Structure 1
Amino acid sequence: MKIQKEALAGTLESSDLMVKVSPNSGIEIIVNSEVNKQFGAQIRSVVESTLAQLNVTDGLIVIDDKGALDCAIKARVQCAVLRGAEVEELDWSKLL
């Protein structure tokens, strides 16, 4: 799956995150977080595993985290990627 257009998901409220995706050659992940020192590696791991589940091969993913839980990170990444890839029919089994 490739990101075809810019897309957003999430908010910048406390305990949430904003995920921005845009076209790119290859995968590039940028994580900006208030808790980056403590949880930056975990945030990146959740993003990478979510991208792998969705078979994303190309895209720039920018995460602006405000202390979100792993389940929120996964949901926001899924939403932004599906919007950016212009997916019209979902394979719900990949969203578990």
Structure 2
Amino acid sequence: MKIVKPAKAGTMESNDIYIMVYPNEKGNEIQLDSIVLKQFGKQIEKIIIDTLKELDVENALVVAKDRGALDYTIKARVETAIKRALE
């Protein structure tokens, strides 16, 4: 899938994650800011990367601002942002 426009999903509320997706010509990139970065940063990045692979997204810049979201919330927000970026 090709990202054709910027899109976002989520909120900055506690226990949520705000995902912004942009077209990117350098492959998939992730910029993560999280209140639990030291403890769970690698896990959050893995969920984002795995979700991009599942959706066959190859050229996306994902900017994530995490407020303690659980794994399923992260996956849902990434999927929603990607689908909005395709329309």
TM-score bracket for the superposition, by shorter chain length: over 0.9
Taking structure 1 as the reference length, the TM-score comes to 0.88
Distance apart, 1:9 and its partner CA: 0.2
How far 1:85 moved relative to its partner?
1.6
Amino acid of the structure 1 residue aligned with 2:67: K
- Counterpart of 1:69 in structure 2 is 70
Q: Considering only CA atoms, is the larger Rg found in Structure 1 or Structure 2?
A: 1
What is the alpha-carbon root mean square deviation over aligned residues? 0.5
- Residue matched to 1:13: 13
Work out the number of aligned pairs and report it.
86
Other-structure match for 1:33: 34
Unaligned segments of structure 2, at least 5 residues = none
**4+ runs deviating over 2 angstroms:** none
Partners of 1:85 and 1:40 lie apart in 2 by 27
Structure number with greater CO (CA < 8 Å, separation at least 6) is 2
Which structure 1 segments of 5+ residues have no match? 87-96
Q: CA deviation at 1:50?
A: 0.4
| 1:39-90 superposed Cα distances (whole Å, 9 cap, x missing partner) | 000000000000000000111100000000000000000000010122xxxx
**Percent identity (aligned):** 51
Deviations 1:21-40 (A, max 9, x none): 01111111111100000000
Give the TM-score of the pair, scaled to structure 2: 0.97
